[in-house]
């Protein structure tokens, strides 16, 4: 039984690491008024400039006011770093 638990932890942890490396993140939305919404995104890439200079993020899964996001062009941010900051 412990081998199965260990394998499940490896699979879940590996999927989380890959999701973060390819630019995935966690989003939280907060309604500010009638039509305004503030979106806070937490990713592994904390020093990225905001759009339009940096990558923009699109939601892939929502649950209430929280969700998962990926870059809209599906290009990992480290590719932009390798190209000299061209996101």
Residue 51 pLDDT greater than 80, yes or no: no
Residues 6+ apart with CB under 8 A from 65: 28, 29, 30
Domain count of the chain?
1
- Residue 87 domain flag: no
Q: Are 53 and 68 in contact (CB under 8 A)?
A: no
- Residue 37 domain flag: yes
Residue 84 pLDDT greater than 80, yes or no: no
DSSP state of 69: E
- Residue 23 domain flag: yes
pTM: 0.76
Q: Which domain holds residue 46?
A: 2-82
Q: Are 65 and 28 in contact (CB under 8 A)?
A: yes
- Residue 53 domain flag: yes
- Residue 50 domain flag: yes
pLDDT of residue 13: 95
pLDDT digits (tens, 9 = 90+) for 16-47: 999 999 989 999 999 888 888 888 888 888 77
- Residue 76 domain flag: yes
Q: Select the more confidently predicted residue: 70 or 86.
A: 70
- Residue 22 domain flag: yes
DSSP state of 19: H
- The Cα–Cα gap between 60 and 69 comes to 5
pLDDT of residue 87: 65
């Amino acid at each position: 039984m412990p081998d199965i638990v260990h394998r499940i932890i490896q699979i879940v942890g590996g999927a989380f690491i890959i999701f973060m490396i390819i630019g995935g993140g966690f989003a939280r939305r907060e309604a500010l008024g009638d039509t305004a919404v503030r979106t806070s995104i937490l990713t592994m890439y904390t020093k990225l400039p905001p759009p339009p200079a940096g990558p923009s993020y699109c939601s892939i899964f929502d649950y209430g006011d929280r969700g998962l996001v990926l870059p809209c062009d599906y290009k990992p941010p480290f590719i932009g770093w390798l190209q000299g900051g061209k996101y």
